[in-house]
Amino acid sequence: MGNQTTSDRHLISFMGINALRSSHPGVRKLKRQQQGHSAHGNKVWRSSFVLMDYLSSWEIPENSKVLDIGCGWGLAGIYLAKNYSAQVTGLDIDDSVEPYLRLQAEVNQCAIDFQARSFQSLDKDELASYQTLMGTDICFWDELTTPLFDLLKLAKNAGTEQILIADPGRPPFWDLAERCVDKLGAEIITRKIDQPWKTEKFILAIGGRD
Ligand SMILES: C[S@@+](CC[C@H](N)C(=O)[O-])C[C@H]1O[C@@H](n2cnc3c(N)ncnc32)[C@H](O)[C@@H]1O
């Protein structure tokens, strides 16, 4: 799959998907309708692009079931739904992200399920129904490190085939990474992209490729 990228003022084209920037008229319209929306799910975050680049090097089975926790605008899930017909569920504690996720999915002519709830509310049976659990730019808060570790442990025990958490390397990510390397056999992958921005991120990976 090519890595050609074209950007215009309101759109980022990357690996077969189009991501609407905050300046896009459709996004601006939603923002006007939603005064005071918060919790960081309010733009395109860069770790999701690095995760897309990493995922492009996998043999991803068609129709995989994927759960994107703290999905925000959901670009990495849209990438998998669009290019691999993945059945993606985006989950976010902030229900105000849903219209942005739907708009981004519509522009990319794919469908994403959305659940407004916390990742802490997921149980083992639900986790067992997904092959992939992923999250991008979700390690913001120290108090979420233990709940995230507990979730990844539960998912691993539930049989989730691959777990991927991408991050710029904030301190809570490294705390989580250390615990997951020590207790869950995780590895940390450093990944760089040159387009649409020159950036380096880190991917906490459990399971997946041998
Ligand atoms: C920085 S944004 C990243 C959004 C998206 N993953 C991306 O890369 O563009 C972090 C997201 O995590 C969500 N979030 C924070 N705590 C959460 C929780 N406990 N359960 C589910 N989502 C949560 C926020 O609402 C926000 O949308």
Whether the Cβ atoms of residue 130 and residue 162 lie closer than 8 Å to each other: no
Q: How far away, in angstroms, is 100 Cα from ligand 1 center?
A: 13
Q: What pLDDT is attached to residue 9?
A: 86
pTM score, whole prediction: 0.94
Whether the Cβ atoms of residue 101 and residue 110 lie closer than 8 Å to each other: no
40 Cβ inside 6 Å of ligand 1: yes
Q: Choose one of 22, 34, 40, 101 to mutate for the ligand 1 pocket test, by most ligand atoms within 8 angstroms of C-beta.
A: 40
- Decide which of 1.20.120.80, 1.10.10.10, 3.40.50.150, 3.40.50.12500 is the CATH code for 5-207: 3.40.50.150
Q: How far away, in angstroms, is 132 Cα from ligand 1 center?
A: 17
**What three-state secondary structure class fits 176?**
helix
Is the per-residue pLDDT at 150 higher than 60?
yes
Residue nearest to atom 15 of ligand 1 (CA): 70
Give residue 3's pLDDT band: very low, low, confident or very high (50, 70, 90).
very low
pLDDT digits (tens, 9 = 90+) for 65-87: 999 999 999 999 999 999 999 99
- Nearest-angstrom CA–CA distance, 78 and 84: 10
pLDDT digits (tens, 9 = 90+) for 107-142: 999 999 999 999 999 999 999 999 999 999 999 999
98 Cβ inside 6 Å of ligand 1: no
Atom of ligand 1 nearest to the CA of 138: 10
